[in-house]
Amino acid sequence: MRWQPDASVTAPHRIGKYLIEAELGRGGMAVVYRALDPEIGRQVALKVLSKAEFTSSGGGSRLLERFRREARAAGRLLHPNIVGIYEYGEDEVHAYIAMELVEGLSLRDHLLAGWRPDLRTLPEALEDLLGALDYSHARGVIHRDIKPGNILISQMGVAKITDFGIARIELSHLTKVGEILGTPFYMSPEQFNGQPTDERSDVYSAAVIVYEVLVGKRPFEGRIAHLLKQILENAPPAPSSINPELPAQIDAIMAKALAKRPEDRFQSAHELLDALHQVMPRKPERRALARVPAEQAPPLTPSGARLAGNVGALRRAIGLNAGLNAGTEARAGAGAGEAPAAAVPKRRLPAVLCVDDEERVLNALKFVLKDAYDVETAANGAQALERLKGRRFQVLVSDQRMPGMLGVDLLREARAIAPATVRILLTGYSDLAAMVGSVNDSEVFRFISKPWQQEDLLATIAEAVSVAIALEASPPPAAAAGGASDLAVVVLEDEAMARAERQIAGDSCQVLHAPSLDHALAALAKHEVAVLIADLESRNVEHTALFKALKAEHPQTLVIVTTAASDSEVIINLINEARIFRFINKPVNLTVLHRHVVAALQRYQAFRQSPALLGTQAARHAAAAPENEAARSMLARLKALGGRFAAALKG
C-alpha cells in the first residue's frame, strides 16, 4: 500500500514566511511540504527539520551549524540538473530549506515501474546525472548519497539531483536508531569501510545507477551481509553478458567505474561520461522518460519519499505537450507482467538567439550553450529582427557595438516584436548613455561583460530562461481595477521632487515624502509601496545596500534612481544586482519622471495580477549572503517590517 502521513500529526499552517499546503513526504528526520511563498506567489518544496531532533541526536548546536553550512554550499549550485535551493531559514522550532518544486517521479519510481531506455544512444538521464556531478564536484560540493530516489525526473524530461550536500548530514547524524545509514546498494566500498570519501565516491554511486539503467539490474544484490562482501570483494558481472544489446566495450568502462579502490576508478564524473560517449553516442534529439501512471507508481516509504509539484502550465507554455514519439518500450514492474508501450513526450530545448558582428564570438557562444539550448545566431540587428518575427525565442543575447544597429536599438525593437523574450546585453566597453538607454527603453534583463566568465554566462542564461518560461505561463494582465489610487510612490529625501510629482500625479496614486531612510522603511510597512524614488548621490543613505535588500525582500517594489553618475560599472552593478527599474539623469525632467512612474505603477499592477512576472525582478546573486554590515542590517530591517503585497495578492 502507498505510504501515508500520520493523520494524528497536524501539519503547521506556516513555517517562516511559507504557507504550508500539503505534506509531500517524510525521511528519517525531515518532513517535506509543498508550500507557498506568499510574497512572490511561488510554490516551493520546504524541507523541514526539528531543532529538537538535532539536540536529541547529540552535538545539537554543532550539527545545526553544519546543516546550515551544507545548505549554503548547496544553495550556490546553479545548474539545470540540480534542484535549486532558494533559501535557508530557522524559527524557534524548525530549521528549513526552501527548494525548487519538481513535478514528476524519481528515477527509482521509473525503474520500479519497468522503464527501459533505448540503448542505441546514452540515456539522457545519465548524461544529466554525470553532468550535474561534474559541476558540483568542481565547486567542492559532494553529495554522498547518490541513488535513484534522489534523482527526480521532471515532466519536461530533465533529471535533477536533489538533497545536494544535505542528505549526508541527515543520514550520517540524524537517522533514528536501527536504520541503515545510506542506501547500501549504491554505497562505495570506502563508505562501507568508514574511510574518507570524496568526489570519487559519488562517481562510484553514479556508476551503480549507470549499470542499473543499462543492464536492468544492479551490479550487486542480496541481503546486507552478502551485499557487503560483494561490494568489497567481487567484480561486477560484465554488463554485455546480461544484456546483449550493449556494446562489449561497456564492460571495461563499468569495471573501472566500479573499482574497489578510488584511485583505480574514473577520477571525475566527466571522465566517466566521456568514456560512455565513446561507445554510446549522445542522442541527436533528447527525449523524456515515459511518465509512470499513478496506478503504476511504487509505494512511497519514509526513505524514498519524492517531491512533486505543478509546472504543467510551464510545459504547455513551451509546447511540451505537442507531438509524441511512439515505439519506446516500457515494461511493468516486477510481477506485473507486460505493460503497453508508453508514449514518450518529445523534449524541446529553450531557444536562444545570439547576435554579434564577430563570427568568433558567435561561435564561442554557440559552443558554450549548444548542449542545453537550441541556439541560433545573427550577424546584425536586421537579421535578428527577422528571426524574432519567424519564431519564438526565450532569450535574446545581443552585442552592443555593431554596425548598422546598436545593441540597445535592437533590444528596443525586439521588445516591441517579442515582449516575452528576455533581453541580455553583451558589451565590452563602457557607454553610460547606452547602459541607461537599455534599461529605460529596452528593459534589459542583465548585462554580460566581455570577456565573459563561462560560469556567470551559463547562470545568467539559465535564469533568463526561467523568467521567460514564467512570462509565457502567465496570463495577460487584465485592466487594473480602480486604477493605481491605492498604491504609494515614496520619494526618499527630496521634498521638492515629492511635491512636484504629487501635483502631476493628482488622484492617480499617493505620493509620500520620506525625509529619512527610517521614514521610507516605515512607509514600506504601512503602505503598498509600488515605487521608490531615490537620489543615488545622497550621502545619507547606503543606496546599494538599500536597493539590494529591497529586491531581496520586496521584489515587487520598482526603484527609480536619479543620478549624475558617470561610472558605468556602478550602473551595471545596480542593474544586475538590484534590478533598478529606471534611471533619470540630473537635472531631473519632471515630465520624464512622471512617465517612468506611470510605467512603474502599471508594472506593479501586472505583478498583482500575475505574480509569476516577479521573476523579471530577480537580482543576480540574490541568494548569497549580504557582503557588508550595512547590507545585512538593511535586509534584517526589511524582513522585520513585512509589507502588504502578500495581502494584496490574496485580495
Angle at 461 between CA 455 and CA 464, to 5 degrees: 140
**C-alpha 301 chain-centroid distance:** 27
Q: 395-399 and 422-427: which strand pairing? A: parallel
Grid cell, residue 369, equals 550553450
> Could you give the CA distance from residue 155 to residue 291 in angstroms, rounded to a whole number?
7
C-alpha to C-alpha distance for 51 and 108, rounded to whole angstroms: 30
Hey, what's the cell of 601?
505603477
Which amino acid type is present at position 571?
Answer: I
Of the candidates 570, 520, 29, 119, the residue with the CA atom closest to the CA atom of residue 328: 119
Cell numbers that stand for 246 in this block: 550493449
Distance CA 6, CA 518 (A): 47
Q: Reply yes or no: is the peptide bond before residue 476 cis, omega within 30 of 0.
A: no
Sign of CA dihedral 467, 470, 475, 480: negative
Tell me which residue of 84, 98, 291, 258 sits closest to 186, measured CA to CA. 258
Note if 145 is an active site residue.
yes
Cell of 352: 536562444
Interatomic CA distance for residues 108 and 127, integer angstroms: 16
Contacts of 179 (CB under 8 A, 6+ apart): 28, 303
Give SS3 for 302: coil
Q: DSSP class of residue 100? A: -
Which residues make Cβ contacts (< 8 Å) with residue 228, sequence separation at least 6?
Answer: 184, 192
Asked if omega into 587 is within 30° of 0 (cis), the reply is yes
Task: Report the alpha-carbon distance of residue 265 to residue 447 in Å, rounded.
Answer: 42
- Is residue 480 within a helix (H) or strand (E), and if so which, with residue range? none
Identity at 614, one-letter amino acid code: L
Catalytic residue, candidates 37, 128, 145, 494 = 145
C-alpha cell at 614: 516577479
- Report how far residue 464's alpha carbon sits from residue 470's, in angstroms, rounded to the nearest whole number: 10
The residue assigned the cell 564570438 is 361
User: Considering just the CA atoms, what is the radius of gyration of the chain in Å?
Assistant: 26
Q: Using CA atoms in the order 24, 30, 35, 40, what is the torsion angle rounded to 10 degrees?
A: -140
315/473 Cα distance (integer angstroms): 9
Helix (H, G, I), strand (E, B) or coil at 179: coil
Q: How far is CA 343 from CA 104, 138, 207, 455, in A?
A: 16, 37, 28, 36
Q: Pull the grid cell for residue 523.
A: 512607509
Question: Which residues, 6+ apart, have CB-to-CB distance to 10 below 8 Å?
Answer: none
Q: CB of 423 within 8 A of CB of 412?
A: no
Neighbours of 564 (CB within 10 A): 10
Active site residues: 145
